[in-house]
Amino acid sequence: MSQATNRKMSPVSVAQVAIDDGFWSQRIETNRTKTIPHEYKQCKETGRIDAFDLAWKPGDEPVPHYFWDSDVAKWIEAASYSLATHPDPELDKLLDEVIEKIAGAQQPDGYLNVYFTVVEPEKRWKNLGMWHELYCAGHLMEAAVAHYEATGKRRLLDVMCRYADYIASVFGSNPGQRYGAPGHEEIELALVKLYRVTGDRKYLELSRFFVDQRGQNPSVFQRELEYLSEEDSRINRYFFERNGFDTSYCQDHLPVREQSEAVGHAVRAAYLYSGMADVAVETGDEELLRACRRLWDNVVNKKMYVTGGIGSSRLNEGFTEEYDLPNRDAYAETCAAIGLIFWAQRMLHIDADARYADVMERALYNGALSGVSIDGEKFFYVNPLASNGDHHRQEWFGCACCPPNIARLIASLGSYIYSESPSDVYIHLYISGQAELNTAGTRVKISQQSGYPWNGDIEVKIEPAEAAEFGLNLRIPGWCRKATLAVNDVEMDNASIVRSGYARIYRRWQPGDTVRLNLDMPVERVAAHPNVVENIGRVALSRGPVIFCLEEADNPVPLERIVLPRDAKLTAVFDEELLGGVVKIKGEALLIDDADWGDELYRFGSVTMRPYSFTAIPYYAWDHRMPGQMRVWIRSL
């Protein structure tokens, strides 16, 4: 087992955390009983699982796709995390059956990819830029680690170690090896996971090799073109720009240590930046860490939606210029928000700074959670911030990366709540339940109880096996303007103990000690930077970590005509009958009226406004009722 070198804290495994939460428990149960079975059924019916039997022959339909392996891998990962917290003999058996199919598809040399085994075997490793072999390998590695940690079974782990060994024999800088990097990054972070669970350093070195291959001149992807036919080269259309060959689409435009602006495909970017952070931690590469921090600042301060979504353009499923954040045309892929959560957690563990946890929470409750319906069986691939009523969740997609991705995130939620170091415990997310930690040389049980995210009254109970000295760090969210904190009913002076967004209480903790944290949670108006031209003169509504939106189901008027005065009173009301139980925001606004316009298109003078009572709901819960308009950003006076 490897030891992290630069992290100020380490994650807590899913198995150490039991969630018993008014908001999340039902979603986790729905994920377990509805989403994971639904996704298995889709993978089965579409041929993704049985493709590992390698029985496909020319002329058969459907034809396996070169990214299919990754969909099954993410399903395995989600199911494995679920097993870690909720034993299920039937799911356990089903996982074993799928894993046996995967093991049976492995080739004598260790290679493992359905498409390039049965459909076009002559094209193995020919187009790393666009054909997803290393991406699929990475997801299978993550699945193997998750399954091993959840069950202790080595079957898939051994298969993937053998595959990783084979990949390490093909790619590298030694004589007889070849250059190359994944066009769709993912394997970088997966190899570090494999290294951490096995202790085999060659997996870490291979990850670093792939990271360092980016930004070469000529590009590794440009050099691949000599192997491709003219027809196959067309697949690499994202790399051909008016100014020549440009691989910024997959973050290959510069060596990673020189990068400072997020470009290209957003999911690829988030996975790359996560892998960079992992490699930097394990190798002590400060230059790589500095690049991660620069890229983080660029994304969060200039290219992130208020919902935590990233990647504004449909054309490249990714980033464009700074402040280009359209609403109705927003892409904001669910996978990209999830990738941002992965990256945020890694940066949080490195710097112990709550600004990363703030973004992690924002993306979790908004840009990622919107990606799955409340019933767990419909999904958004794209998450716009405005709709005219024509955008809806679907049961599945031809490119189905998002459904199993959100499933694995929800199943692994326990691993995002707490972190620990030899001397400290950190609480990042306020989710009710219990955790079993090991701090200051003793076992410590921590219990949380709250009504979060609907209210900010949080109680934390500390139960060390015996009295022990350590620091308890509670995140004071960036959205909170007023917080009070008390230990055993003795109020603390926050100003003296808050550092980098965490209130650190260092003391000799006794069994039964209680901490109470109150986070003031009024309704807030959020303004965008003036360079975000679509949102000039508009505000978004937030309360705690949740972003709200207007829906036509509650507001049967043209939503663009609703205008919110600066002094309008806004009230938060919990409605247990609405959308599974949510807080809604009610307020008095104005409505631009057209009753006296007649047929005229233009006229002199001001428009008429009349009072209008509006209702806003959490953004994650939109598109569950009648089709209709939706808006996050509201006109303001």
Locate all alpha helices (DSSP H) within 24-67, ordered by sequence.
Answer: 24-30, 36-45
DSSP state for residue 611 in the 8-state scheme: E
**What pLDDT is stored for residue 7 in this prediction?**
83
- Side chain identity at 180, as an amino acid letter? G
Return the pLDDT at 238: 86
Phi, psi of 121 (to 5 degrees): -65, -25
Strands 582-593 and 562-564 turn out to be: antiparallel
Kindly give the residue spans of alpha helices, DSSP state H, lying in 465-600: 494-497
Domains of the chain: 10-416 (1.50.10.10), 419-519 (2.60.40.1180), 523-636 (no CATH)
Kindly state the tokens that stand for 429: 């997310």
Whether residue 427 has pLDDT greater than 60? yes
- The predicted structure's pLDDT at residue 5: 55
Extract the tokens encoding 622: 């939109």
Determine phi and psi for 64, rounding to 5 degrees.
-55, 145
CA distances from 318 to 27, 249, 259, 310, 381 (A): 28, 8, 16, 7, 13
Q: What's the pLDDT score for residue 4?
A: 47
pLDDT (0 to 100) of residue 242:
62
For the chain, the average pLDDT equals 96
The tens digit of pLDDT for each residue in 238-262 reads: 887 666 789 999 999 999 999 999 9
Q: Taking Cα atoms as reference points, which of 94, 98, 54 lies closest to residue 72?
A: 98
Please tell me the distance from the alpha carbon of residue 322 to that of residue 23, in angstroms, as a whole number.
35
Residue 236 confidence (pLDDT): 85
Q: What is the β-pairing status of strands 498-499 and 433-439?
A: unpaired
Instruction: Return the active site residues.
Output: 317, 401
CA distance 416 to 345: 7
pLDDT in tens, 315-342: 999 999 999 999 999 999 999 999 999 9
| Average confidence (pLDDT) over 529-539 | 98
- Say how far apart CA 341 and CA 369 lie, in whole Å: 12
The predicted model gives 219-224 an average pLDDT of: 91
**pLDDT of 227:** 81
User: Region 624-634: what's the mean pLDDT?
Assistant: 97
Please tell me the total number of residues recorded for the chain in this structure.
637
**Whole-structure pTM over 0.95, yes or no?**
yes
Report how far apart, in Å, the C-alpha atoms of 67 and of each of 55, 555, 624 are.
18, 42, 30
Q: How far apart are CA 100 and CA 159, in angstroms?
A: 10
Q: Which positions ≥6 away from 160 have C-beta within 8 Å? A: 112, 137, 140, 141, 143, 144, 194
pLDDT at 3 > cutoff 60: no
On the question of pLDDT at 164 being above 50, the answer is yes
pLDDT(149) > 90: yes
**pLDDT-derived band of residue 1, with 50, 70 and 90 as boundaries?**
very low
Which residues, 6 or more positions from 16, have their beta carbon under 8 angstroms from its beta carbon? Answer: 414, 418, 435, 436, 437
CA distance 516 to 507: 15
Structure token pair of residue 617: 């709901």
Positive or negative CA dihedral for 327, 329, 330, 333?
Answer: positive
- Could you give the 3-state DSSP secondary structure of residue 489? coil
Condensed to tens digits (0 to 9), the pLDDT of residues 453-471 reads 999 999 999 999 999 999 9
Q: Which carries the bigger pLDDT value, residue 302 or residue 218?
A: 302
Q: Is the pLDDT of residue 199 over 60?
A: yes
